[in-house]
Structure 1
Amino acid sequence: MLVFAEVARFGSLAGAAQALGWTQPAVAQHVRRLERDTGCTLVVRTSRGVTLTEAGHSLAAHAEAITARLRAARADLSALTDLRAGRVRLSAFPSACATFVPAAIALLWERAPGLDVRLTEAEPDEARRLLAAGDADLAVTFDYDNVPDASTQTARIKLFDDTMLLVVPPAHRLAARSDIDLAAATDQRWIAGCPRCRAHLTAAAAGCGFLPDIRHSTDDYVVTQTLVAAGLGIALLPALALEAARDPRVETVELHRHTPRRVSLTSPPDIPPSPATRALTSALVEITAPRRMRTLPG
C-alpha cells in the first residue's frame, strides 16, 4: 500500500522508485502483486507514466490514509523514544515518598517535561500486587534479610541500605548510650509498624534471645514517635522515616551490627521497560547515589 501511494502521488513508476530508493522493476512487481490481491486493474501504463483507473483512485485514497496513520505512528513512537511523551506509573512506600522520590520525579521532569509520571503511595506488598496486576510500572520497595520475601516474580535494583535506629524517650535509660545490642531492650514495651516491619522486629529480637512485648501497632511514623515521646514504649525505625518526620521529643540510639533494611527498585521481570520507565529508573538511581555512598563500608 505504501508503494502504491507513492505511485499514485508521482503518477509514474520511475518517480515512485526514486522516492522509495527502489528499482523501477521492483515497484512494478509490487503494483502487479497488489492488482492480483485486489482482483482489479489499478493503473494503466502510458507513454508519460501511469494513469490510475477508477479502482486505482479508490484504493489510492485508502493508501494515503494508511500512509498518514503510519507517519503518525512513527511520530508517536519517536516521541516515546525521545521522552517527549510517555507515561510511567510509580509506587513507593511512605517514607520514600516523603524523602527522595519527589526529587527524582522533579529531576525526570526537568529532563523530559512531556512525560506523564503517576505516583501511588504503597507499602511493599501492595506495591508488588500493583506490579503483578499491571497497575504500576516500577516500585520503590524495601525488605529485610531476616524476613522471608514470598514474592520472587520481580526484578530488583538495590538503591541503598537504610539504617535501623532504636527510638526512645529522652529520659530513657538507653538514651545516653550508643552502638548497643538490641538485647539491651529485652524488658521494654514496644511499638510495632507494618506487618513486614513487625516481622523484622520479632525476628531481630528472637536473634537476641527474647520476644518483644508489643503493646501498640501503627503504620504511621509520626504516631510512633508521639507514642514513644509519651513514654508508652520504644520503637525500631528506619533512618529514612526519621528523616521524613523527626519528633524533637525523642532520641535515637544506634544499634550494634543490626542489619539495615534494603531499599530497592522493583519491576516485573518479563516486561521490557519502556523508555519512560528506564528514564525514571536512572533518575532514582542518580538521586539516591549520595545515600549509597553513606552506607559503603569504611
Structure 2
Amino acid sequence: MLSLVHLKVLAAVARHESVTEAARELHYSQPSVSHHLSRLEAATGAKLVQRIGRGIRLTPEGRLLANRAAEIVGRVDAATNELAAQVGLQAGRVRLAANASVLSTLVPSAAATLARTYPGVELSLIERHPVESLRMLRHGEIDVALVFRHADAPVEDEGYRLRQIGDDRIYLVSQRPDDSVAHHRHSPWIGGCDACTNELLTVCRREGFAPRIGSLSDDMVVVQSLVAAGMGVAILPGLALLAHRRPDVHATEIPGIQRQIHAATYGDPPDPPAVAAVLAALAEAPRPRAPAPRAPTDG
C-alpha cells in the first residue's frame, strides 16, 4: 500500500536526484530514505531508482510516480493550509511564484496589504520563470503563479484558472531617445526566453522584417548593460524597467503591444480562503507607475 510518507520521500529524491540531499531536506537519515524507497518499490512492484556510480537516477517508472507524488503531496499540503485557515483566516500559508520583474514591482505592495489585513497568513515568495511557475502549480508545489501572456495566447492546461491583475506595456530599449523599432532593421537584437523571443519576432514582423538576434539573456540587468555597451537593442516590459533602469539607456513605448499579467491557480474552485485573500490583495494593490519614456539627461 502506498503511503504519503513514501510518496513524499520519492518526490524529494526526484527533485534532488540524490538520497543525501533528499534526507537533508526531509530531516531524515540516509538509511531511512533508502528504506522508504525500498518499501515503495515493494508496494508498487516496480524498480523506481537505479544506482549510477555514486549517484542515483530514477527509472521511467520512478519518474512517472514521482511526478504524481509531487502533485499529491502538494495537494495535501494545500488542503492542510486550507483547513488551518478556515477559521477567520487566523493562519495559513500561501506559496507564490513569479518572475523577477513582477516579484519586485507588483508583489511587494500586495504583500504589505495582506500583512495588514490578515497578519496570520504567511506568504512565501519564489522567483521562477512563468513556464516553471505553471509546472510547479500543476504539481502542487505552489498555490499561486503570476504569469504573463498575450490575449490570444493559449492556456497550456485547462486545469489552470487565470485572473487578470494588470497589463504590462512593452518598450524598445536603445541608446538614443525617441527611437523606433523600424530604425533597427539592420541592428543586432538581444533576445530572451522562448516567449520573450517570440514577442520580439512579433514586434519586428509588424515592421516588416525579421530581427538578427546576436545575444540572449533573460536578465533585465544584463540586457540593459548590453544595450548600453552598444551590443544591440532589445525590447523589455515596463515592469522590468521599473525594477531596474540604467540611466544611460532610453526606453520608448511600442504602441499596440502589451502583456497581460495573470494570477494563476489550479484545480476546481473555490480557492482556499488564504489563497483567495492573496488574490484579492493582488487585485487591490496599487499599480506602479509606467517607466519614463527616455533616460534622464546629465546635469
TM-score by length of 2: 0.65
Q: Give the aligned residue type for 2:238.
A: A
Matches within 5 A, 1:1-298: 77=83, 80-145=86-151, 148-169=154-175, 175-177=176-178, 180=180, 182-255=181-254, 257-288=255-286
Q: CA deviation at 1:194?
A: 1.8
Query: Matched residues in 1 for 2:160 and 2:83: separation?
Result: 27
Q: Give the aligned residue type for 2:270.
A: P
Q: Give the aligned residue type for 1:162.
A: D
Sort the Cα spacing of 1:249 and 1:78 in 2 relative to 1 into closer, same or farther, 3 A.
Answer: closer
Equivalent pair of 1:160/1:291 in contact (CA under 8 Å): no
Match of 1:163, SS?
A: strand
Query: Matched residues in 2 for 1:205 and 1:188: separation?
Result: 12
Q: CA deviation at 1:251?
A: 0.8
Query: Matched residues in 2 for 1:264 and 1:101: separation?
Result: 12
Q: Give the aligned residue type for 1:236.
A: I
Match of 2:205, SS?
A: helix
Query: Matched residues in 1 for 2:240 and 2:263: separation?
Result: 18
Query: Matched residues in 2 for 1:83 and 1:91: separation?
Result: 21
Sort the Cα spacing of 1:200 and 1:149 in 2 relative to 1 into closer, same or farther, 3 A.
Answer: farther
Query: Matched residues in 2 for 1:206 and 1:118: separation?
Result: 40
Equivalent pair of 1:159/1:288 in contact (CA under 8 Å): no
Q: CA deviation at 1:148?
A: 5.0
Equivalent pair of 1:167/1:234 in contact (CA under 8 Å): yes
Q: Deviations over 1:153-212 (max 9, x none)?
A: 31111111111010011xxxxx2326x4x3332111101122211111112222322111
Match of 2:91, SS?
A: coil
Q: CA deviation at 1:83?
A: 1.1
Gaps of 5+ in 2: 1-81, 291-299
Match of 1:258, SS?
A: strand
Figure out how many residues of one structure are paired with residues of the other and give that number: 209
Query: Matched residues in 1 for 2:152 and 2:222: separation?
Result: 25
Q: CA deviation at 1:275?
A: 0.6
Counting aligned pairs with the same residue, the percent is 37
Q: Give the aligned residue type for 2:279.
A: T
Q: Deviations over 1:194-251 (max 9, x none)?
A: 2211111112222322111110101110000000000000010011000000011111
Q: Deviations over 1:46-97 (max 9, x none)?
A: xxxxxxxxxxxxxxxxxxxxxxxxxxxxxx9585331111111111111011
Query: Matched residues in 2 for 1:290 and 1:218: separation?
Result: 24
Query: Matched residues in 1 for 2:133 and 2:84: separation?
Result: 30
Query: Matched residues in 2 for 1:77 and 1:149: separation?
Result: 30
Q: Give the aligned residue type for 1:128.
A: L
Q: Give the aligned residue type for 1:273.
A: D
Q: Deviations over 1:6-52 (max 9, x none)?
A: xxxxxxxxxxxxxxxxxxxxxxxxxxxxxxxxxxxxxxxxxxxxxxx
Q: Give the aligned residue type for 2:232.
A: G
Equivalent pair of 1:91/1:119 in contact (CA under 8 Å): yes
Q: Give the aligned residue type for 2:146.
A: V
Match of 2:256, SS?
A: coil
| Structural RMSD (CA) | 2.2
Structure with higher Rg: it is 1
Equivalent pair of 1:147/1:203 in contact (CA under 8 Å): no
Gaps of 5+ in 1: 1-75, 170-174, 293-298
